[in-house]
Amino acid sequence: MSHTGDNLIPIPTKRFRPRRYKPGGLANWSGHLPFAQNLVAGLAPALIVELGTHFGESYFGFCQTVDELGLVCRCCAVDTWRGDIHSGVYGDTVFAQVESYNDLNYRRFSSLLRTTFDAANAQFDDGTIDLLHIDGAHTYEAARHDFDLWFPKVRPGGVILIHDIAARKKDFGVWRLWDEIKPKFISFEFIHNWGLGVIRKEGGEQKPFLDFLFNSSPSDRAFIATYYADIARMVEMEHELAESARAIDNSFLTVYPHVNGEYTEARTVISQVIPGDWAHYVLELPQGSPTGPIRIDLTNFPCVIDVSEIVLRSTSNGLIVAEWKTCRELGTLRCGGHLRPIPKDEPVAFLSVGVDPQLYLPDLTALTAQPLILEVRSRVTRDVTSGLRALDHLIGNGRPADPSLAAAEAQARESYDHERALRLESERKIVDLTRQLEQQRAALASASAAAEAERRRRLEILSSGSWKITAPARSLYGALHRIFRSGRDDGRSH
């Protein structure tokens, strides 16, 4: 068993890095994913049921933990995937995304029940659910109904999660339900990220993680709440760092075959582009390009692109169908969109003045109506200065002023400046986030050390001889205190 900080919180796994994070642009549950992972790891459930899944951030967080730890556990998500008064009404697109993600990753142990909570209730026997997550409609009446209906389905010792206990907006009333039930059960609450209530049903086997969670002192409870809020913030910063890094290098070469008289996104073939060095791209076109010329978008940002060769091969035998290797051959290819040819010696070069540089191969319908392999050798340079200088030289050497070249130059300068500003902003954000992340880690380590020191101090007191000697006196004092409090309560009741 590994531990966080200096062994303060007993958890059996490392910190969680969610695969599905802020799906659909929503982050309503993101802040509770680290705790949910630790909860599943510590509880080792055999059955998890979620009421209200939407894009599946919380549900697939549970599933990811089950998968990574190899737990023998069945997971069930219950939702109509039609929306409600708080999430809004939506069509089948959301369910299609969730179903596809589930089929791809967790189908062997995860089921999606597309029905109402009431209708699904009969599919589960009483006392069988180890972990129940309630996150349906958020009015008091709806939350109360869901809790009362599904509580019998939870086994003794099982855990119930209730989301949005801290949301006091519009007609949200989960907080009212939470205020009513938390004094009646073994409970813990998180206030961050709209709040999450945790309840343990009486009975069953005690687990170390749950024992620590529910039976800690007030100071330890405060530390636990802060710890998971801080860990959630670190996960968020790591996600933002990754997104910022991807924003810098999110570059692609895209090939559009011509099928049924058109170019469509559905039939594109894509390869990532790494700017700076020569690269050999090999892409398969299963249907070839039977009704028109192949279109190659050499990248998707302003840059200079050198091309040394383009080759088409038959997939069946590997023989060359067509090739363009010399400057003269490559120079015959038609440019479109944001692509402009640059007059220079070998290799053939092009200037992309925007995000849509298009290069068209000749219409070879008779040869390309078969499965093909397309090979492109090219080099991408983000700095467009050389391309702009070539255009300046072309215009300034006495050639007739071509309005399209002048417009291309202006557009390239504007696009490049915008792209450079975005890259600089992303790089600045990475530096800032990295610094914040290190500060957060240092603060968390310091808080963990302080909390552990306090815990050890209390253990030393509890194990000391004086504490043991005074045990009878403390026991007598406790009994007298309970008698006094009982009598005082009886007096108030009359």
Domain boundary among 187, 215, 243: 215
Cα-to-chain-centroid distance, residue 180: 34
Q: Is 112 among the domain residues? A: yes
Q: Is 494 among the domain residues? A: no
Instruction: Tell me the per-residue pLDDT of 213-253, one tens digit each, with 9 for 90 and over.
Output: 898 888 888 888 888 888 888 788 777 766 665 555 568 89
Reported confidence tier of residue 386, pLDDT bands at 50, 70, 90: low
Cα-Cα-Cα-Cα dihedral sign, residues 330, 333, 335, 341: positive
Residues 98 and 180 in one domain: yes
Residues 175 and 281 in one domain: no
pLDDT at 319 over 70: yes
CATH code at position 87: 3.40.50.150
Nearest to 63 by CA among 7, 116, 104: 104
Residue 295 structural domain: 252-399
Residues 205 and 258 in one domain: no
For residues 426 and 420, what is the distance between their CA atoms, to the nearest angstrom?
10
Helices (H), 276-402: 327-331, 365-368, 385-396
Residues 35 and 172 in one domain: yes
**129-134 and 154-163: which strand pairing?**
parallel
C-beta of residue 379 within 8 angstroms of C-beta of residue 309: no
Read out DSSP for 235-271? HHHHHHHHHHHHHHH--EEEEE--BTTB--GGG-EEE
pLDDT at position 303, please? 82
Domain boundary among 159, 189, 215: 215
Residues 393 and 258 in one domain: yes
Q: What pTM was computed for the model?
A: 0.59
Q: Which of 94-98, 402-406, 423-427 is least confident?
A: 402-406
pLDDT at position 160, please? 98
Residues 372 and 282 in one domain: yes
C-beta of residue 231 within 8 angstroms of C-beta of residue 245: no
367 vs 144, more confident: 144
Residues 90 and 208 in one domain: yes
Instruction: Tell me the per-residue pLDDT of 421-454, one tens digit each, with 9 for 90 and over.
Output: 766 676 676 677 667 767 777 777 777 777 777 7
pLDDT at position 365, please? 87
Q: Is 16 among the domain residues? A: no
Reported confidence tier of residue 400, pLDDT bands at 50, 70, 90: very low
116 vs 89, more confident: 116
Residues 32 and 98 in one domain: yes
Instruction: Tell me the per-residue pLDDT of 170-186, one tens digit each, with 9 for 90 and over.
Output: 889 999 999 999 999 99
C-beta of residue 298 within 8 angstroms of C-beta of residue 305: yes
DSSP one-letter code for 282: E
What average pLDDT is seen over the chain? Answer: 82
pLDDT at position 414, please? 67
pLDDT at 146 over 90: yes
Helices (H), 108-217: 117-121, 140-150, 174-181, 208-215
Residues 336 and 201 in one domain: no
Summarize the confidence of residues 367-392 as an average pLDDT.
79
Q: Is 54 among the domain residues? A: yes
Three-state secondary structure call for residue 56? coil
Residues 281 and 172 in one domain: no
Q: Is 14 among the domain residues? A: no
Kindly state the percentage of the chain with pLDDT values over 90.
45
Summarize the confidence of residues 344-365 as an average pLDDT.
86
Q: Which of 33-47, 100-114, 442-456 is least confident?
A: 442-456
Domains held by the chain: number: 2
Residues 71 and 196 in one domain: yes
Q: Is 169 among the domain residues? A: yes
Domain boundary among 354, 373, 399: 399
Residues 201 and 287 in one domain: no
Q: Is 318 among the domain residues? A: yes
Cis amide prior to 400 (ω within 30 degrees)? no
31 vs 248, more confident: 31
- Tell me which H or E stretch contains 407: helix 403-463
pLDDT at position 494, please? 42
